[in-house]
Amino acid sequence: DAGVIQSPRHEVTEMGQEVTLRCKPISGHDYLFWYRQTMMRGLELLIYFNNNVPIDDSGMPEDRFSAKMPNASFSTLKIQPSEPRDSAVYFCASSLALGTGGAYEQYFGPGTRLTVT
Amino acid sequence: AQSVTQLDSQVPVFEEAPVELRCNYSSSVSVYLFWYVQYPNQGLQLLLKYLSGSTLVESINGFEAEFNKSQTSFHLRKPSVHISDTAEYFCAVSSLSGGYNKLIFGAGTRLAVHP
């Protein structure tokens, strides 16, 4: 398997613009997670899905952030409008369902480095 | 609530020296513990994990960690480090409380191996 795929790898945008980050999880994985990594706050869980359904979005910072998972092989994280303080590396991760071999381990994508000017 | 404390933000060490990266956790339920490694400009990769059984777990590249329930610790060790071990290391805890697989990460420890 190719692992978790994220696009774009780098994104530079101006304040106020809409930004969409994309993720393709590992085939067969039931859970998908979105994280944000910054120097100040470290690694934060934003939202996660189980079988395409959002389970916990308590980490989403504001209404400007939204995430969708229309099918088992694709998810998006959208920021509208973007602000300079959204600059960070955004990671997507996926894992198997609980109780299956190898469960609990999350596989991370390479991340999208977002810069909002 | 669960939490993870990594006691050192940075650890400088010379090549071939031993190293220990410290991790303490707090949780009121049974836990599963992980160490992830992040090389520059890459995502996190699982280094090793403790789910049950032997409290000493090992990775394929010479790292080991010991689960100590009484001290609520999961320190990572390597007897002889290489330049290529330079990376950031994250300790994480997961529990089935609530029935889902949610990881709580520590702040990370940056390991810098010098020649």
Structure tokens at A26: 């590992």
Which spans in B1-115 are helix H? none
Closest chain B CA to residue A97: B101
pLDDT in tens, chain A (117 residues): 689 999 999 999 999 999 999 999 999 998 999 999 998 888 999 999 989 999 889 899 889 999 999 999 999 999 999 999 999 999 999 988 765 544 578 899 999 999 999
Q: Under an 8 A CB cutoff, do A98 and B90 touch?
A: no
CB atoms within 10 A of CB A87: 16
- The string of pLDDT tens digits covering residues B8-20 is 999 999 999 999 9
Chain A touched by B52 (CB under 8 Å):
no
Phi, psi (5° rounding) for residue A94?
Answer: -140, 160
State in Å, rounded, how far the first CA of chain B is from the last one.
41
Chain B touched by A110 (CB under 8 Å):
yes
How would residue B51 be classed by pLDDT, with cut points 50, 70 and 90?
confident
Verify cis geometry, omega within 30 degrees of 0, for the bond prior to A54: no
Cβ-nearest to A98 among B43, B101, B106: B101
